[in-house]
Amino acid sequence: MDLKIIYFDMPFWRAEVARLSLFMANIDFDDVRITGDDNKFLKEHGKLKDGTSIPFRQLPVLVIDGQSVAQSGGIARICGKLSGMYPEDMVEAGKVDQIIDTVTDMNVMLNLSMRENDPIIKKQMRADLTNTDLPRYFGYLEEIIDANSSHWFVGDTVTVADIAVWSFLGWIAQGVLDDIPPEVIQPFVGLRKVYNELGEHPLVGQWKKKTYSHDESSSDEYNYDIPDRI
Ligand SMILES: N[C@@H](CCC(=O)N[C@@H](CS)C(=O)NCC(=O)O)C(=O)O
- Residue-level pLDDT at 182: 95
The pLDDT of residue 206 is above 70: yes
Please list, residue by residue across 50-79, b when 16 or more beta carbons sit within 10 angstroms of its beta carbon and e when fewer do.
Answer: eeebbeeeebbbbbbeeebebbbbebbbbb
For ligand 1, the distance from its centroid to the CA atom of residue 58, given in whole angstroms, is 4
The pLDDT of residue 16 is above 90: yes
Q: What is the mean pLDDT of residues 128-152?
A: 97
How many Å separate Cα 160 from the centre of its chain? 10
For ligand 1, the distance from its centroid to the CA atom of residue 149, given in whole angstroms, is 34
What single-letter amino acid sits at 174?
Answer: Q
- Residue-level pLDDT at 213: 74
Tell me what the pLDDT averaged over the chain comes to.
95
**CATH numbers and ranges of domains, the chain:** 3-83 (3.40.30.10), 90-211 (1.20.1050.10)
Of all protein residues, whose CA lies closest to atom 15 belonging to ligand 1?
Answer: 58
Least confident piece of the model among 53-57, 107-111, 125-129, 209-213: 209-213
DSSP 102-129: HHHHHHHHHHHHHT---HHHHHHHHHHI
- Residue-level pLDDT at 179: 95
Q: Which residues line ligand 1 (CB under 6 A)?
A: 12, 14, 58-60, 71-72
Q: What is the mean pLDDT of residues 109-124?
A: 96
Q: What is the mean pLDDT of residues 157-183?
A: 96
